[in-house]
């Protein structure tokens, strides 16, 4: 087991290295560079001045050397470099935005799980009932609707027509709220972005829970539990759910990448100041170090999530032995 | 009863897709308007006999652009799935058939690809190199091969232990023929289901990239980039026909393809109790 996880961690580190190399070369080989992107519209800059600015951030060196310097600083000092457009450490910029994205992603994950488990279980137990049909259809809509279209529908309904929810941002601009008023304001801004992300997530979770529980309730030990005369609720929630949730833990880990990806679009719809918006701005400005930093950081989080899901699997399922 | 319900949905889905495909192909016959010609005097016109679904902020006919956008969105979905399935089939059969170090190498590469956060990579690549139809197809085609590769590998691993494969060895059939004529046809079912569901996903993703301005770019219409107009609060508030119709087109198309995929899965795997 220890060996298995040691190997997994090693592979994850290797994956991170490969991602860093791929990104670094991709970004540097693409046409345009940050200095040109920043100063082309400013008249009176001579070529010498531009070259000096490029040399100052090391752009005049061969790509391999640049990568070597970058990765050395990252590995030895945890230094992601400095954003070219903001002139501030990349890590600080990530830290400022990280919690906004985290809040969005984890709230959406938690809410979709809390809804998907009872819905999926009931669908599986009462297969082919009206309940099953309705929620299977809802899940199909969730799988098929573009998140931005769903977001627009919500904005149109709740922000434009009913005017009960704010359409953008994390808080009312320029507010002086404190305490409960501040919390209420934040929560209001939270409702729509989280709903979009949670609904789309819930659709796929529901389908997994339903099919996993359907498999479990056909097992012999469930029949035994029933024949002992246990009530349905206890059979389902105490015996079936425990085993049925095992595959779901795996899904949680692998869905992390999808949710982080999805949050990028949700952040765009609701002008949510998170990592997604940061990366979008970094691309437009050809901000090499910021772009590298956010991408590597996200990949790191996703890999970490998958490792944690694997470890959790051992906790919930004692039958699993990695080797 | 359940299977009947599912199949009915698959048939409805198939009908919708055939209708949409026909409408997209017959666009020049179905509409008198030009795809791109704008008319500033006709901006934001509501639906009428002249403009069935009104006009957009540039005075272009929304219905006409929807038809032409259907061509692009359907084509991008099918092409990118074809590419990812081809890469996946080659990689999966090599890994499953030859095993050993080749299997390990291919599966490790697959691990790397599937742990990439897709949109981050996609928008980085698309923004750095000009967004285009070809680029959109390529990004999805190249990044999404791992599922079909894993699927085919596991199919081949179980198939190659079967007796008919011993027979092929006894007959002295070459490796290439073993894979293409004996293994692939037997693994066809799950692959076709996975490709179908992949098309749905590709159309959804293309629409998201185009919405962000990093997929299909105007003047070429795609359902996704038609929805970008709704980013303008003014449009969102007052001109529903500009953004509701492309949104519904994406929803109906993707849902129909998902229904077809589910129907195929049920039909190809009669043991499955859903």
Tens of pLDDT, residue by residue over A225-248, are: 888 877 777 777 777 887 777 777
Nearest to B142 by CA among B222, B214, B82: B82
B interface toward A at CB cutoff 8 Å?
A: 1-2, 5, 108, 111-112, 114-121, 123-125, 127-129, 200, 204, 207-208, 211-212, 224, 227, 230, 233, 236-237, 240, 243, 247, 250-251, 254-255, 258-259, 273-274
Q: Do B118 and A144 touch (CB under 8 A)?
A: no
Alpha-carbon distance A159 to A196, whole Å?
14
For residue B6, name the pLDDT band (cuts at 50, 70, 90): low
Query: In chain B, whose CA is at the least distance from the CA of A163?
Result: B237
Alpha-carbon distance B73 to B79, whole Å?
10
- Mark whether A143 and A282 lie in a shared domain: yes
- Give the closest of B124, B247, B259 to A291, CB-based: B124
For residue B248, name the pLDDT band (cuts at 50, 70, 90): very high
- Mark whether A115 and A236 lie in a shared domain: yes
Tokens 């894993």 found at? B150
Q: Assess A30–B contact: CB distance below 8 Å, yes or no.
A: yes
For residue B15, the distance in angstroms to the closest alpha carbon of chain A comes to 17
In this model, does residue A223 exceed pLDDT 90? no
Alpha-carbon distance A294 to A91, whole Å?
9
Both structure tokens of B145: 């091969």
- pLDDT number for residue A40: 66
Alpha helices (H) in chain A, listed in sequence order: 2-29, 34-39, 47-56, 63-77, 90-125, 130-144, 147-154, 179-216, 220-227, 232-234, 241-244, 246-269, 275-284, 288-316
- pLDDT number for residue A243: 79
DSSP codes, A246-257: HHHHHHHHHHHH
Tokens 């037997």 found at? B186
Query: The pTM is what?
Result: 0.87
Alpha-carbon distance B118 to B124, whole Å?
10
Tokens 């206890």 found at? A234
Looking at the predicted complex, does its ipTM rise above 0.90?
Answer: no
In this model, does residue B271 exceed pLDDT 60? no
Instruction: Please provide the average confidence, as pLDDT, over all residues in chain B.
Output: 84
Q: Tell me, yes or no, whether A7 lies in a domain.
A: no
What burial letters (b/e) apply to B97-108, b meaning 16+ CB within 10 Å?
A: beeeeebeebbe
- Mark whether A72 and A116 lie in a shared domain: no
What burial letters (b/e) apply to B207-229, b meaning 16+ CB within 10 Å?
A: bbbbbbbbbbbbebbbbbbbbbb
Q: Do A214 and B273 touch (CB under 8 A)?
A: yes
Interface-testing mutation among B116, B254, B272, with chain A (most A C-beta atoms within 10 A): B116
Instruction: Please provide the average confidence, as pLDDT, over all residues in chain A.
Output: 83
Alpha-carbon distance B139 to B144, whole Å?
8
Query: What element of type H or E holds B244?
Result: helix B240-268
- Mark whether A300 and A200 lie in a shared domain: yes
For residue B171, name the pLDDT band (cuts at 50, 70, 90): confident
For residue B246, name the pLDDT band (cuts at 50, 70, 90): very high
- pLDDT number for residue B203: 95
Query: In chain B, whose CA is at the least distance from the CA of A132?
Result: B2
**Mean of pLDDT values over B174-191:** 82
In this model, does residue B54 exceed pLDDT 80? no
Maximal CA-CA distance, chain B: 77
- Mark whether A219 and A103 lie in a shared domain: yes
Condensed to tens digits (0 to 9), the pLDDT of residues A105-123 reads: 989 999 999 999 999 988 9
- Mark whether A191 and A239 lie in a shared domain: yes
User: Which of A175 and B153 is assigned the larger pLDDT?
Assistant: B153
Q: Tell me, yes or no, whether A151 lies in a domain.
A: yes
In this model, does residue B87 exceed pLDDT 80? yes
- pLDDT number for residue B267: 79
Q: Assess A265–B contact: CB distance below 8 Å, yes or no.
A: yes
In this model, does residue B149 exceed pLDDT 80? yes
For residue B1, name the pLDDT band (cuts at 50, 70, 90): very low
Q: Are the C-beta atoms of A278 and A289 separated by less than 8 Å?
A: no
Domain that holds residue A196: 97-316
Q: Assess A280–B contact: CB distance below 8 Å, yes or no.
A: yes
- Give the closest of B111, B128, B240 to A11, CB-based: B111
Condensed to tens digits (0 to 9), the pLDDT of residues A273-316 reads: 888 888 878 887 778 888 888 888 888 888 888 788 878 777 77
Q: Assess A167–B contact: CB distance below 8 Å, yes or no.
A: yes
For residue B250, the distance in angstroms to the closest alpha carbon of chain A comes to 7
Assign a CATH topology to domain B2-28+58-268: MetI-like fold (1.10.3720)
For residue B58, name the pLDDT band (cuts at 50, 70, 90): confident
User: Which of B238 and B5 is assigned the larger pLDDT?
Assistant: B238
- Mark whether A161 and A226 lie in a shared domain: yes
Alpha-carbon distance B57 to B87, whole Å?
41
CB atoms within 10 A of CB A122: 18
- Mark whether A248 and A208 lie in a shared domain: yes
- pLDDT number for residue B28: 83
**Mean of pLDDT values over A192-208:** 91
Q: Do A302 and B115 touch (CB under 8 A)?
A: yes
Both structure tokens of A260: 């982080």
For residue B210, name the pLDDT band (cuts at 50, 70, 90): very high
Maximal CA-CA distance, chain A: 88
Chain B residues in contact with A274 (beta carbon < 8 A): none
CA distances from B18 to A306, B30, B189, B231 (A): 40, 16, 22, 31
User: Which of B176 and B68 is assigned the larger pLDDT?
Assistant: B68
- pLDDT number for residue B215: 86
For residue B198, name the pLDDT band (cuts at 50, 70, 90): very high
The full set of domain ranges for chain B reads 2-28+58-268
For the ranges B41-50, B118-127, B138-147, B224-233, the lowest mean pLDDT is seen at B41-50
Q: Tell me, yes or no, whether A143 lies in a domain.
A: yes
Q: Are the C-beta atoms of A19 and A292 separated by less than 8 Å?
A: no
Query: What element of type H or E holds B86?
Result: helix B62-98
In this model, does residue A13 exceed pLDDT 60? yes
- pLDDT number for residue B2: 54
Chain A residues in contact with B120 (beta carbon < 8 A): 260-261, 264, 279, 294-295, 298-299
- Give the closest of B128, B208, B274 to A146, CB-based: B208
Q: Are the C-beta atoms of B229 and B57 separated by less than 8 Å?
A: yes
Nearest to A93 by CA among A275, A257, A320, A256: A275
Q: Tell me, yes or no, whether A68 lies in a domain.
A: yes
Condensed to tens digits (0 to 9), the pLDDT of residues B31-48 reads: 777 777 777 777 777 787
User: Which of A9 and A56 is assigned the larger pLDDT?
Assistant: A9
Last residue of a domain, one of A77, A108, A124: A77
- Mark whether A60 and A206 lie in a shared domain: no
For the ranges A14-18, A39-43, B67-71, the lowest mean pLDDT is seen at A39-43
DSSP codes, A160-201: IIS--S-SSSSS-TT----HHHHHHHHHHHHHHHHHHHHHHH
Q: Tell me, yes or no, whether A8 lies in a domain.
A: no
Domain count for chain A: 2
Q: Do A11 and B250 touch (CB under 8 A)?
A: no
Quote the crossing angle between the two packed helices A246-269 and A179-216, to the nearest 10°: 140
Q: Do A18 and B1 touch (CB under 8 A)?
A: no
- pLDDT number for residue B72: 92
In this model, does residue A216 exceed pLDDT 50? yes
For residue B238, the distance in angstroms to the closest alpha carbon of chain A comes to 10
Q: Do B125 and A152 touch (CB under 8 A)?
A: no
CB atoms within 10 A of CB B204: 23
For residue B122, name the pLDDT band (cuts at 50, 70, 90): confident
Interface of A with B in 82-101 (CB under 8 A): none
Alpha-carbon distance A121 to A240, whole Å?
9
- pLDDT number for residue B274: 47
Query: In chain B, whose CA is at the least distance from the CA of A210?
Result: B274
For residue A175, name the pLDDT band (cuts at 50, 70, 90): confident
Handedness of CA B239, B242, B245, B246 (dihedral sign): negative
- Mark whether A221 and A176 lie in a shared domain: yes
Alpha helices (H) in B129-239, listed in sequence order: 133-143, 146-159, 163-170, 175-177, 188-211, 223-227, 233-238
For residue A162, the distance in angstroms to the closest alpha carbon of chain B comes to 12
Q: Tell me, yes or no, whether A67 lies in a domain.
A: yes
- pLDDT number for residue B202: 94
- pLDDT number for residue B5: 60
**3-state class (DSSP) for residue A37:** helix
Both structure tokens of A192: 């729509």
What burial letters (b/e) apply to A30-68, b meaning 16+ CB within 10 Å?
A: beebbbeebeeeeeeeeeeebeebbeebebeeeeeebbe
Q: Assess A192–B contact: CB distance below 8 Å, yes or no.
A: no
φ, ψ of residue A102 in degrees (nearest 5)? -55, -50
Q: Tell me, yes or no, whether A3 lies in a domain.
A: no
For residue B141, the distance in angstroms to the closest alpha carbon of chain A comes to 17
CB atoms within 10 A of CB A107: 16
B210 CB-near residues (< 8 Å, 6+ apart)? B136, B216, B217, B222, B223, B224, B225, B228
Condensed to tens digits (0 to 9), the pLDDT of residues A19-54 reads: 888 888 888 877 777 777 677 666 667 777 777 777
- pLDDT number for residue B16: 92
- Mark whether A68 and A114 lie in a shared domain: no
CATH of the domain at A134: 1.10.3720.10
Q: Tell me, yes or no, whether A202 lies in a domain.
A: yes
CB atoms within 10 A of CB A191: 14
Nearest to B210 by CA among B175, B238, B249: B249
**3-state class (DSSP) for residue A137:** helix
Q: Do A26 and B124 touch (CB under 8 A)?
A: yes
Interface-testing mutation among B117, B235, B246, with chain A (most A C-beta atoms within 10 A): B117
């Amino acid at each position: 087991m220890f060996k298995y996880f040691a190997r997994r961690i090693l592979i994850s580190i290797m994956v991170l290295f490969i991602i860093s190399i791929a990104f670094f070369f991709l970004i540097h080989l693409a046409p345009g560079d940050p200095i040109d992107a920043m100063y082309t519209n400013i008249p009176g800059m001579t070529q010498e001045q531009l070259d000096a600015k490029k040399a100052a951030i090391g752009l005049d060196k061969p790509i391999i050397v640049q990568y070597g310097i970058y990765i050395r600083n990252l590995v030895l000092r945890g230094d992601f470099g400095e954003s070219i457009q903001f002139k501030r450490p990349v890590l600080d910029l990530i830290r400022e935005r990280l919690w906004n994205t985290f809040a969005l992603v984890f709230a959406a994950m938690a809410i979709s799980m809390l809804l998907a488990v009872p819905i999926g279980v009931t669908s599986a137990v009462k297969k082919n009932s009206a309940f099953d049909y309705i929620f299977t259809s809802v899940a199909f809509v969730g799988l098929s609707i573009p998140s931005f279209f769903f977001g627009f529908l919500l904005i149109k309904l709740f922000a434009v027509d009913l005017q009960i929810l704010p359409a953008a941002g994390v808080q009312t601009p320029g507010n002086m709220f404190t305490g409960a008023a501040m919390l209420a304001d934040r929560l209001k801004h939270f409702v729509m972005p989280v709903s979009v992300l949670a609904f789309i997530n819930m659709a796929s979770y529901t389908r997994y829970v339903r099919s996993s529980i359907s498999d479990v309730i056909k097992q012999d030990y469930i029949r035994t539990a029933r024949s002992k005369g246990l009530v349905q609720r206890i059979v389902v929630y105490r015996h079936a759910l425990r085993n049925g949730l095992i595959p779901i833990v795996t899904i949680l880990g692998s869905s992390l990448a999808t949710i982080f990806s999805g949050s990028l679009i949700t952040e765009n719809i609701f002008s949510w100041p998170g990592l997604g918006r940061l990366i979008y701005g970094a691309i437009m400005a050809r901000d090499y170090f910021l772009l590298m930093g956010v991408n590597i950081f996200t990949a790191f989080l996703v890999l970490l999530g998958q490792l944690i899901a694997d470890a959790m699997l051992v906790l919930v399922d004692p039958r699993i032995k990695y080797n | 009863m359940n299977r009947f319900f599912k199949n009915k949905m698959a048939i409805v889905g198939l009908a919708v897709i055939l209708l949409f495909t026909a409408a997209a192909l017959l666009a020049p016959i179905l509409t008198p308007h030009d795809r791109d010609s704008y008319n500033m005097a006709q901006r934001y016109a509501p639906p009428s006999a002249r403009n069935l679904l009104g006009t957009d902020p540039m005075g272009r006919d929304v219905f006409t652009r929807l038809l032409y956008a259907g061509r692009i969105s359907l084509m991008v979905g099918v092409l990118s799935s074809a590419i990812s399935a081809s890469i996946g089939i080659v990689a999966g059969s090599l890994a499953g058939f030859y095993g050993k170090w080749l299997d390990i190498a291919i599966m490790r590469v697959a691990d790397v690809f599937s742990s990439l956060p897709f949109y981050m990579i996609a928008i980085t690549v698309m923004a750095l190199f000009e967004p285009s139809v070809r680029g959109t197809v390529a990004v999805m085609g190249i990044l999404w091969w791992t599922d079909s590769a894993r699927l085919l590998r596991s199919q081949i691993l179980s198939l190659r232990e079967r007796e008919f494969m011993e027979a092929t060895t006894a007959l002295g059939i070459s490796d290439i023929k073993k894979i293409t004529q004996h293994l692939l046809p037997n693994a066809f079912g799950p692959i076709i289901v996975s490709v179908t569901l992949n098309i749905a996903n590709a159309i959804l993703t293309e629409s998201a990239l185009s919405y962000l301005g990093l997929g299909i770019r105007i003047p070429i219409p795609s359902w996704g980039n038609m929805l970008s107009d709704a980013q303008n609060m003014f449009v969102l508030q007052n001109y529903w026909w500009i953004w509701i119709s492309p949104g519904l087109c994406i929803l109906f198309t993707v849902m129909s393809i998902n229904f077809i995929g589910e129907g195929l899965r049920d039909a190809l795997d009669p043991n499955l109790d859903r």
